[in-house]
Structure 1
Amino acid sequence: MALQETAPTEEPIAFPFPPPSSLYEPSPEYAELRDRRPVTQVTLPDGKTAWLVTGHAEARQVMIDPRFSRKAASGPDTPKLGLAAADDSILGMDPPEHTRLRRLVASAFTARRVEELRPRVAKLVDELLDRVETLPRPVDLVENFSLPLPVQVICELLGVPATDRHVFHAWSDAVMNDWRADPAKSKEAIEELSRYFARLIAAKRAEPADDLMTALIAARDRDDKLSEHELVQLGLGLLIAGHETTANQINMFLLTLLRYPDELARLRTTPDDIPRAVEELMRFVQLGQGGGGLLRVTLEEVELGGVRLPAGAAVLPALLAANRDPRAFDQPDRLDLSRADNPHLGFGAGVHHCLGAQLARMELQEALRGLLRRLPGVRVTVPDSELRFKSGMTLRSLEALPVTW
């Protein structure tokens, strides 16, 4: 393949794209670019340019190739697309610093450890649905199920009081921002969360417990494996990542299944297929609008998708487009809960592959299993047009999801 010149042959395209007309399909611009030029220069809201990557193979290369740096993306001159806490957390690091911190917490998220947690998560699902069944209908699924489930799980794992969930979730919303958000509010939320974790760490030092935060404090105090700042930021990142995405996925999974009643009916009759269904929903569901990947910066000249990118180029993998790439998936725009070959990028790839992927998978499986078993006729009581999403967020975060059954 002949390489294109570094300078684009066409004018950069404005990004992010306008919102799509449907909650269930990506903006049509993604497919047009993926088919024509999967590595395309775009202009971002701050006026800076970046290279948008819409192909599956190309997006995966960005995430696994060490020449694409997350640390370099935190520089003052790089574009900012949101997620205020990312640059100052493990998400903003490259190896070996990233490897050191990731190793400290990886043991809590192994497949074996997650399976040990499954009975507890299944019990939480049942307890939440017990309460849901007693409430007057319609019931807000966000407030009463999809948010409290992952919050309770990550709080128990970290040793955070679940009674604080409304407080830290409000801060979390401000941190999980997009380019439209007020940077001052995001900065204030990060500072509040940091102070919250500093208080929690002090309490855990005074009264150690059998939880992940106590173990991390020991790694800090006894083994000197991380700084106090890293300890705070690691706890903050785990708390946000451990509940925000999963809660929104539960909501969007249910909406998507109701949109495709034949697939939902088939899943009801074959609940053993739920693990495979979760993988397909991870691929198919439109959780965000801005592409879904974290910005990287090239450390040297790199060829990507037939384009020669210079050192210092900002590169944005569009995972929601990559997950619909016909070069990687048969009939990619079809929801197929029996899909066997599914190399989706919903959890990322490479060194920044989602640390809690196994935990998220298990929680989503148990949430779906509980909803299908306990609320067999579940339906949303308002049309899609009346659903309200929080503004200025990187994820589609519903304010409420009224359901009956």
Structure 2
Amino acid sequence: MATASPDLSALVADPYSTYARLREAGPVHRVTGPDGLPVWIVTRYADVRQLLADPRLSLDKAHRLPGNYPGFTLPPALDLNLLNMDPPDHTRIRHLVTKAFTPGRVEEMRPGIQALADQLLDGVAGRGRADLVAEFAAPLPITVICDLLGVPHDSRLDFRAWTDALVAPDPSNPGAAKKAVAAMLTYFPQLIADKRRVPGDDLLTDLIDVRDDGDKLTEDELTSLAFLILVAGYENTVQLIGTAVLALLDHPVQLAALRDNPAKIDDAVEEFARYDGPALLAIRRFPTEDVEVCGVTIPAGETVMLSLASANRDPDRFPGPDRLDLARREGGHLALGHGIHYCVGAPLARLETQIAVSSLLRRFPALELDVPRDQLRWRPSMRARGLIALPVRF
């Protein structure tokens, strides 16, 4: 089924209405992407979930036919990561990563994350107002991920700027993304060399040392993994914290219910992720053979985008999908993926969001927006869903 391209400004300002129209019109649409190249968009929950785990849809760009959207392109030293590979390489590297990135390590981080959240809130408490993105939601995960990787303190502001430039490029500064890539290509190999010389109690040192029957990560694999962990670990969490807080401010009854019963925060975070998750679309995929979806044939080598945002608002899976419901019984959202490419950092993103939202509600019982709702600005991206700023008073 071919359709007119969804307008980028509409996808930024109101993606859920736009995807609802696509979903109602049909399960699969061939559209023109922002770069002028064709893309297939899949919109319904059952199809998106199935295709996320379908081995015929490859993440390896070697399967892309020329003339189709390639996705984000990076130099090999940054591109050789889990978002661009299939088994057996994906299986090998993910297994090595998960040996170091365990739930136990994440849980050990809880006291430190809580102390950091409290410290950040201490810094704004006396003013009675703050931008929760710049002063809370962003510094929390960038500090956590840099602590996890063992990044020195004097590099951390650079990391945040590099990540922002890559994920949501500023149209007025077109060279920022290239500069960020060049900076990372210089920085990460040096950081890895430093860790080899002076090992630390951090994930990057673990990744350097991890072995499995003699197998270990190559230099490019190490560099790419450090890059991926930084970008994904920071970007997804900062956006999820911001949209979670906004969702509560938009739904005061739900906010009051969570404040009265803070033990429900784990379930609440799952609903925040379903309701307004950080990724509108999963990473692009390329069929290794023709794939049929609801009677529509997607040819091998063309680009497929699976809409996580649309799937998570599909009324066939989630009754009343446009309503935030912290007591929702239907689980199984796809905000963090599904199948072998499920987000390896999901436990950390959940923990940080749980701590951030709980701490904020406990500290500031009179929290409210400090600007009219329609003045909030969103990042100019059809892939990453996030607020530029979230001004509040308390």
TM-score when normalising by structure 2: 0.90
Kept in 1, the 8 Å contact 2:274–2:334? The answer is yes
Counterpart residue identity of residue 125, structure 2? E
Counterpart in 2 of 1:64? 53
1:122 counterpart residue number: 114
Does the alignment pair 1:402 with 2:391?
Answer: yes
1:352 to 341, 355, 369: 341
The one-letter amino acid paired with 1:251 is: G
The size of the alignment, in residue pairs, is 390
Same amino acid, percent of matched pairs: 44
Unaligned runs of 5+ in 1: 1-7
Deviation at 1:149, TM superposition (A): 1.1
| CA distance in structure 1 between the aligned counterparts of 2:381 and 2:323, rounded to whole angstroms | 29
Does the 8 A contact of 2:101 with 2:203 survive in 1? no
Higher mean displacement: 36-45 or 359-368: 36-45
Is 1:201 paired with 2:199? no
> Do structure 1's residue 79 and structure 2's residue 69 form an aligned pair?
yes
SS in 2 for 1:377: coil
Question: Once the 2 structures are TM-superposed, how far is the Cα of residue 171 of structure 1 from its aligned partner?
Answer: 0.9
Give the counterpart letter for 1:129 in structure 2.
L
Q: Which residue of structure 2 lines up, in the alignment, with residue 373 of structure 1? A: 362
Deviations, residues 21-45 of structure 1 (Å, cap 9, x unaligned): 9x6x534332122123111111223
Distance 1:360 1:104 in 2: 20
Counterpart of 1:260 in structure 2 is 251
Amino acid at match of 1:91: L
Question: Is the Cα contact below 8 Å between 2:10 and 2:18 reproduced in 1?
Answer: no
In the alignment, which residue of structure 2 is the partner of 1:90?
Answer: 82
For residues 141 and 74 of structure 1, the distance between their equivalents in structure 2, rounded to whole angstroms, comes to: 42
Tell me, in whole angstroms, the C-alpha distance in 1 between the residues paired with 2:17 and 2:352. 31
Q: Look up the SS of the partner of 1:51 in the other structure.
A: strand
Secondary structure class of the residue paired with 1:42: strand
Give, in whole Å, the separation in 1 of the partners of 2:217 and 2:25: 46
Note closer, same or farther for the CA distance 1:206–1:89 as it changes in structure 2 (3 Å cut). same
Q: Which has the higher mean CA deviation after the structures are superposed, 104-113 or 152-161?
A: 104-113
Cα deviation per residue 1:321-348 (whole Å; 9 max; x = unaligned)?
0101111112212111011221100001
Summarize the Cα distance change of 1:74–1:399 in structure 2 as closer, same or farther, 3 Å threshold.
farther
* Equivalent position of 1:336 in the other structure: 325
The separation in 1 between residues aligned to 2:310 and 2:170, in whole angstroms, is: 19
Specify whether residues 392 and 52 from structure 1 end up closer, same or farther in structure 2 by C-alpha distance, changes over 3 A only: closer
Displacement of 1:175 in angstroms is: 1.6
1:182-201 pair list within 5 angstroms:
185-201=176-192
Q: Relative to 1, partners in 2 of residues 1:121 and 1:83: Cα closer, same or farther, differing over 3 Å?
A: farther
Shift of 1:240: 1.2
State the 1:84 CA deviation: 5.6
Distance 1:84 1:390, change over 3 A: farther
Which residue number in structure 1 is paired with residue 124 of structure 2?
132
SS at 1:276 equivalent: helix
Note the residue ranges of structure 2 that are not aligned, 5 or more in a row.
none
CA distance in 1, matches of 2:255, 2:63: 42
Aligned partner letter, 2:164: D
CA RMSD across the alignment: 2.6
* Corresponding residue for residue 142 of structure 2: 151
1:215 and 2:206 equivalent?
yes
Structure-2 residue corresponding to 1:362: 351
Which residue matches 1:101? 93
Q: Conserved in 2, the CA contact under 8 Å of 1:83 and 1:394?
A: no
Task: Kindly state the Cα deviation for residue 223 of structure 1 after the two structures are TM-superposed.
Answer: 4.9
Q: How do 1:155-304 residues align onto structure 2 when only pairs under 5 Å count?
A: 155-177=146-168, 185-219=176-210, 223=214, 225-285=216-276, 287=278, 291-304=280-293
Task: Kindly provide the CA deviation profile for residues 234-281 of structure 1, in whole angstroms up to 9, marking residues without a partner as x.
Answer: 111111111111112111111111011111111111111111111011
2:36 maps to 1:44:
no
